[in-house]
Chain A
């Protein structure tokens, strides 16, 4: 009987067992890849694939966001004015299609991104550098534009990137831009294979057809689910659910150790946790630290952590100085009568400080981030230029809070009290916790203070804050390129992204941020940003909440793991080894 059973098992193994996947890195994530076209992609999941298939001219060195090394370029220089950048291109590089990498590919990459510039893509910040506008041609020129206007616009696109010779490309900017070099390390600037793209029906690079391609949804074209880059890995297949890539044998750099990579979208967290413990996944994405603790000590699983791995996403509690009170249920009576708040409730710095002094930083770090996080002095990741680690953070201080509250609005707030509702997007428990900590403390301080907290579904939250109806709300901001301007302008400038939602309008902050955009001198920029930090502390226009320390979960056999916050996947596949 025993023999028969063993024989049966052996037969089953031979017939059905199949080969195991040797030297294959399996990464299970939540949130699927949106697209593989660098000119369309603007999400972390897509970056995970794109950054390994395509390459930029320069790239980051390991974990650093301030040290760079040549990738498809070997040298670069900028003119003194800072509006002309020249790159020397690497020779002997081939695309996965077999086509040779030339200067024409770089020129085409830049021109196509500027031609397409889809509204939901990430081209806007490079369009601003090259053309002085974030919008694509149709949006910029408007309905009344003439053919001559379009011809002029296209001439500017053509002028943006020019091949000096086969191995030298020159970029001409609309105005000096000290952030240009790091912008060129973002996904949107990853070099595509010109001949491959044109052969497969994408824009042919000519003026005759460019207007047909303005703002198109590139997800409906060939490079959406096909790719020919120069990266260490070439795409085998992506079916919308699972991506398979393999080592590119013709890669110009060192041969990667891992042969195959599979990226799987597994939305159910418990399934991912079981997969990493079973050894079916080499790496899994874990949503939060509380869940991470379930894996601590699990056999065969390594949790990679480092005190320096602070998240570069800045979470912020915003105060709206100019609330849209029309049909806004969150302002109550709309008056400072104890049953509501007026539109200018947060226009008074004392009012903002009153709330900021009620935020318990340590409680947030302990309870929400499981002790793994750092309080921020300003809306900038600590590793970025100009961050002020010498400034204090607004921490819970009842005496200071009471003093600020009593001074706010000439004492009317303290006397009359208030009631309003703060908002966050449904499902984001971190933002919910930040608001609730303030609520608990501020309501304890004065019985006339009533702060409600409610969630809004993501679509509602978008519309709501877009209409300026958010009173006090929580949102975050993650970098598309590693420069302080990417945070400080959206947060603190009166023409920045959040201005319409917060009503921020401080001429002093505007002048400092604008000045930093006009110089390429790093020391000068650092000084200007430090001054921004000082005003951000003095005026407290918005309250950053602590950033979490990041972590990576892999199997024990995955070696060479590091964390660079500018990579969607934190590290490149070519740098790891499977023991």
Chain B
């Protein structure tokens, strides 16, 4: 197992080289003037297009640009992102915890809801509850995030906004953003210290339940949005996996032994049925960690997804490279963790 993990980790640099070379080659399909778009935000700046191309070396050949990026990256400098107006590394350091916080908090209802509903549907196969759950899953899966997100905002921030603001001093307001303006000012002037950029953790470290709740209530609507869509897939997999497990011989044997249904279902069948769900949950987390563009945009949540979306539109080359490397890292390490977890859950699996 240890050798397997080491071998997989040694593979990471090659993945980095592969994806970054691919990005640089793709960028070469664009002319230098097209690549200069990252530095031109107004018509007046068109005036200096040629000088911009020269200053930022946009007309350098492929190998020079790639060598330059690798040289800087090896020294820890991933370049400057015009989309976030700060170094790429700084943006990742600030935004990855934000996306991770949203992803991890979302994962609880995504998995919990998916497993619960999947189990419910499987155990009530072809009954009304199964049909309702399956239709619900299809609706949840096919409902675009931005539609659900805006509905939730219109309902809770718009329509019910006044009620929530007036109730309990506004403690239950559901707003877009990561924190309220009051907390944002405290963060800006240092009254509230940022240590990890995970606000839920920082607020506990600082002994500030008000900030903890402030950050948590800002997560509620985006988490509901993500849970509605992502849990649908887990529910479907859980249902089919459990149905398959319930038809296995050992389950029949357990029943033949006279065990109660509850023990058969939850101790014998569901544990095994969870194996594919774990894999899927791992991929869901990887997906969420990379930032959820639409949800972050609708809820004005300052995560990786929103940054990358604006960087891609503006052809912000250093940001695209940095984000690609980060994504490759998350995918490789995430897959590795899923594999390891898989082996722990299912002792029959051994990596050599």
Contacts and interface: CB of A to CB of B under 8 A. Distances in A.
Interface of A: 9-10, 12-21, 24, 26, 31-35, 42-44, 118-120, 122, 124, 134-136, 139, 215, 217, 219-220, 224-225, 236-237, 239-242, 244, 246, 260, 262, 264, 266-268, 270-271, 274-275, 277-280, 458-460, 462-463, 465-467, 475-478, 480, 490, 497
Residue among B36, B51, B83, B161 with the highest chain A CB neighbour number at 10 A:
B51
A44 B299 CA distance: 24
Nearest to B187: A237
A135 B51 contact: yes
A44 B42 contact: yes
Contact of B184 (A9, A14, A262): A262
A547 B27 CA distance: 37
Contact of A267 (B86, B189, B310): B310
Nearest to A486: B44
A476 B46 CA distance: 11
Given A118-B55, A244-B189, A274-B153, A463 B91 contact: no
Interface stretch (B122-130, B175-183, B338-346): B175-183
Contact of A268 (B31, B175, B297): B297
A134 B184 CA distance: 41
A325 to B, nearest CB: 18
B290 interface: no
B315 A459 contact: yes
A24 B186 CA distance: 13
Nearest to B180: A18
B218 to A, nearest CB: 12
Given A139-B54, A219-B80, A480-B44, A18 B182 contact: yes
B300 A268 contact: yes
A124 B185 contact: no
Contact of A477 (B44, B51, B176): B44
B42 A478 contact: yes
A10 B167 CA distance: 9
B265 interface: no
Contacts of A118: 55
B73 interface: no
Nearest to A15: B209
B167 to A, nearest CB: 6
Closest 10 CB pairs of A and B: A13-B169, A17-B169, A119-B51, A459-B37, A463-B33, A237-B188, A244-B188, A9-B168, A16-B213, A459-B34
B34 A463 contact: yes
Contact of B48 (A32, A124, A241, A279): A124
Contacts of A465: 46
Given A16-B210, A17-B170, A274 B46 contact: no
A17 B171 contact: yes
A162 B315 CA distance: 42
Contact of A280 (B35, B90, B181): B181
Contacts, number: 193
Interface in B45-60: 45-49, 51-52, 54-56
Contact of B181 (A26, A236, A241): A26
Contacts of A120: 39-40, 45, 48, 52, 55
B47 to A, nearest CB: 5
Contacts of B249: none
Contacts of B169: 12-14, 17
Contacts of B297: 267-268
21 contacts: A18-B211, A20-B170, A20-B182, A43-B41, A119-B39, A120-B55, A217-B80, A240-B86, A244-B184, A244-B189, A260-B185, A270-B154, A271-B299, A274-B158, A274-B161, A274-B176, A275-B176, A278-B161, A279-B165, A459-B36, A463-B34
A276 to B, nearest CB: 11
A119 B55 contact: yes
Contacts of B300: 264, 266-268, 271
B153 A462 contact: no
A241 B302 contact: yes
A477 B43 contact: yes
Interface of B: 30-31, 33-37, 39-49, 51-52, 54-56, 80, 82-87, 90-91, 94, 150, 153-154, 157-158, 161, 165, 167-172, 175-177, 180-185, 187-189, 209-211, 213-214, 297-300, 302, 306, 310, 315
Given A43-B42, A217-B80, A16 B188 contact: no
A274 B157 contact: yes
Contacts of B185: 21, 24, 236, 244, 260, 262
A462 B46 contact: yes
Contacts of A10: 168
A478 B43 contact: yes
A26 B181 CA distance: 8
B307 to A, nearest CB: 9
Contacts of A219: 80, 82, 85
A224 B51 CA distance: 21
Contacts of B41: 31, 34, 42-43
Residue among B33, B299, B306 with the highest chain A CB neighbour number at 10 A:
B33
Nearest to A475: B43
B171 A278 contact: no
A20 B180 CA distance: 9
Nearest to B34: A459
Given A242-B184, A262-B184, A466 B46 contact: yes
A219 B82 CA distance: 9
B209 A267 contact: no
A21 B187 CA distance: 13
Nearest to A225: B86
Residue among A14, A17, A122 with the highest chain B CB neighbour number at 10 A:
A17
A271 B48 contact: no
B46 A271 contact: no
Contacts of B187: 237
Contacts of A270: 150, 153-154, 298
A239 B40 contact: no
Nearest to A476: B43
A220 B80 contact: yes
Given A139-B54, A497-B46, A462 B40 contact: yes
Contacts of B165: 278-279
A42 B44 contact: yes
A58 B233 CA distance: 63
Nearest to A43: B41
A12 B168 contact: yes
Given A14-B169, A239-B188, A270-B154, 20 more contacts: A16-B209, A18-B183, A21-B185, A32-B83, A32-B84, A118-B55, A136-B51, A239-B94, A240-B84, A240-B85, A242-B188, A244-B184, A262-B184, A264-B300, A271-B299, A278-B175, A459-B33, A466-B33, A477-B43, A477-B44
Nearest to A13: B169
A547 to B, nearest CB: 15
Nearest to A214: B55
Contacts of B80: 217, 219-220
A462 B85 contact: no
A130 B192 CA distance: 47
A15 B213 contact: yes
A176 B52 CA distance: 29
B181 A262 contact: yes
Contact of A119 (B54, B180, B209): B54
B39 to A, nearest CB: 4
Contacts of B49: 462, 466
Contacts of A225: 85-86
Contacts of A18: 180, 182-183, 210-211, 214
A13 B171 contact: yes
A5 to B, nearest CB: 10
A278 B168 contact: no
B214 A220 contact: no
Contacts of A240: 84-86, 90-91, 94
A180 to B, nearest CB: 19
Given A32-B85, A220-B87, A271 B42 contact: no
B47 A497 contact: yes
B58 to A, nearest CB: 11
